[in-house]
Amino acid sequence: MNRTYNFSISSTQFIAPDGNLIKPLPATVNEALLLKAYRQMVLIRTYDQKAVALQRTGKLGTYPSALGQEAIGVAIGLAMRADDVFVPYYRDHATQYLRGVSLTEMLQYWGGDERGSHYKNCPQDMPLCVPIATQFCHAAGIASAFKIRGEKRASVVTGGDGSTSKGDFLESLNLSGVWQLPLVMVINNNQWAISTRREVQSHGETLAQKAISADIPGVQVDGNDFVSLYDAMLTALERAHSGKGPTLIEAVSYRLSDHTTADDATRYRSNDELKKGWDLEPVKRLRDYLHHEKLWGSEQERQLQTDVKQQVDEAVSAYLEIEPEAPTAMFDHLFETLPAPLQAQYDEVRRTHQS
C-alpha cells in the first residue's frame, strides 16, 4: 500500500497555567501589549459578571457568559486590523469591545433591542450570530468579496467546537481552500457544545485537523494563553493579507460558566472537572506572569478593579436609560410590504400597545 498523505498538527503554548514561561515570547509580544491585554481581560470579566447579574434580576435577556474565554477574545481583537471584518458568534464580547462596540451596545442587544447591533464605531463588522455555524458562510462571502476586489483585507470568523460538526462550517472551510480566500477561522474549543462533550462532538484527535481536508493550514493553540493565540492570529492574518489564503485555528479553552443563563451545567458535568478548568483559566495565568516579571503589583490591581467597575457601571446606567422601542418594531425591516397575516398581527400589536 502506498501512503499518499501524512499530516501533523502543531500545538503551541508560551505561558504555563502557573504563569511561568515555557519558551521565550515571540518578537511580536512586548510588555506594553501584555499589560493592555490583561486590562482588557479584566474589563471583560467584570462586564460579563455584571451582565449575568442583570439577567438574574430581569434586566437582560438570556445571556451567554464568556467566563474563561477572555484570552481568546482579547487576542483576536488586538491582532486584527481596523479594516478587517469580524464575523462573531455569541461569546465574542471581548473582541467586539476591542473592535469598537460599546458595552452599552452589547447590553442593548442582549436586552432584546436590535438597535444594539447598529454599531456606531465599527459599522463594517457583522452582528452577533446565534444560529450555529451560519456565520462561517457569511465570513466566506465577505472574504470572497475582498479577493474579487483585490483588497488586502481579511475576514475573521469564530465559532464553538460544536459548530465544526455543521455543514455550514465544512462547506465554508472547503470553499476557502478551493478559492484561497483571505479568511481566518477561529474555533473556540471550550470542551462543551451546550451539554455535549467535545469527545462526543467529533472523533478527531484535534479540531484543527479538519483543515487538512481543505488543504489549508490548521493549528492548535492553548486558548487560555493570550500569547499563543495572538501569535497564531498574526501569522494567519499575514497569510490572508498577502494573498496566501485561509487558516483554521483551534483555541483550546474551557467554559467555566453555564452555556447560557438558560442552562444549568451542574446537570451534566462534575465539580471536579470544573475545578480543573479553573486551574487553567486565562486571567489569573497572565496576572501571575506579570507578577513574576515584576510588571504588576497589588496597588495596580486595586486601581484597575476600581476603574473597570466604574466603566461597567456607567455602561449599565446608560443601557438602563435607553427608551425601549415600540413593540411594533419587531415587524420593521422584514418586508417592504407586510403580508396580510403579518399585517393583521401588526395591527393587533399596535392596538394593544396604544390601549
- Cα angle, residue 326 at apex, residues 324 and 328 outer, rounded to 5°: 145
- Cell numbers 473582541 correspond to 95
- In this structure, are residues 41 and 286 in contact, taking their beta carbons and an 8 Å threshold? yes
Which one-letter DSSP state was computed for residue 155?
A: E
C-alpha distance across the termini of the chain, in Å: 79
3-state SS class at 187: strand
Distances in whole angstroms, Cα of residue 324 to Cα of each of 2, 24, 121, 289: 66, 51, 22, 44
DSSP 283-303: HHHHHHHHHHTT---HHHHHH
- In this structure, are residues 316 and 54 in contact, taking their beta carbons and an 8 Å threshold? yes
Residue in 259, 285, 287, 319 annotated catalytic: 259
Known catalytic membership, residue 268 = yes
Residue in 138, 153, 255, 285 annotated catalytic: 255
Closest CA to 178 of 150, 143, 133, 206: 143
Known catalytic membership, residue 255 = yes
Known catalytic membership, residue 149 = no
As given in the structure block, the three cell numbers for residue 59 are 434586566
Residue in 115, 197, 268, 353 annotated catalytic: 268
- In this structure, are residues 349 and 328 in contact, taking their beta carbons and an 8 Å threshold? yes
Catalogue the active-site residues.
255, 259, 268
